[in-house]
Homo-oligomer: A and B are copies of this chain.
Amino acid sequence: MNQLASRPAPEWRTGQWFNSDRPLALADFRGRVVALHAFQMLCPGCVANGIPQAQRIARLFDPARVAVVGLHTVFEHHEAMGPAALAAFIREYRLTFPIGVDLQDANGPLPYTMAAYGMKGTPTLVLIDQQGRLRKRSFGVEDDMRVGADIATLLAEEIPYEPRI
């Protein structure tokens, strides 16, 4: 899984959230592994592969240990993928994990979080470890067995003692 030199995962910059009564931040998930699924609702590969895989992750792992979070990283067809459209999509596809909308950057082609994570497109699966470090970033179709192994590897890590004063 060592695709990435381990570094703190960039904070998310999001607008509206769905399936959550409040905005979520990385710090909310400290102590859990986070599977962050970046998608666009009109991206065929996301609909056919990425989103069903995110749902399988959410079903397989104990939610107290693994959090699945969606990130709607719109970088094209903005007029067709606004909040009302995303709400309808979430309802039709019966998605239950929390989904945040990545903030548009007025100065760039990509929304903020997508750019901060260095994503190349959608779907992208990001894994963040129990200490909040970015550990995997995978663009496109990733096979289930590898994803299962990668998440379990992060779950098995000892969390070092971190004194807090």
A residues within 8 Å of B by Cβ? Answer: 42-44, 47-48, 56-57, 60-61, 76-77, 79-81, 84-85, 87-89, 91-93, 143-153, 155-157
Contacts and interface: CB of A to CB of B under 8 A. Distances in A.
Contacts of A92: 42-44, 77
Nearest to A147: B145
Contact of A143 (B85, B89, B144): B144
A153 B153 CA distance: 6
Given A146-B148, A151-B152, 11 more contacts: A47-B47, A61-B149, A79-B88, A80-B88, A80-B89, A145-B145, A145-B147, A148-B149, A149-B151, A152-B152, A152-B153
A92 B80 CA distance: 12
20 contacts: A42-B89, A42-B92, A44-B92, A48-B48, A60-B149, A77-B88, A79-B84, A79-B88, A80-B84, A80-B89, A81-B85, A85-B85, A143-B144, A145-B148, A148-B152, A149-B149, A149-B152, A151-B152, A152-B153, A153-B156
Contacts of A88: 42, 76-77, 79-81
A36 B37 CA distance: 33
Q: Which secondary structure characterizes the binding site on chain A?
A: helix
A151 B144 CA distance: 13
A10 B152 CA distance: 27
Nearest to A52: B48
A150 to B, nearest CB: 7
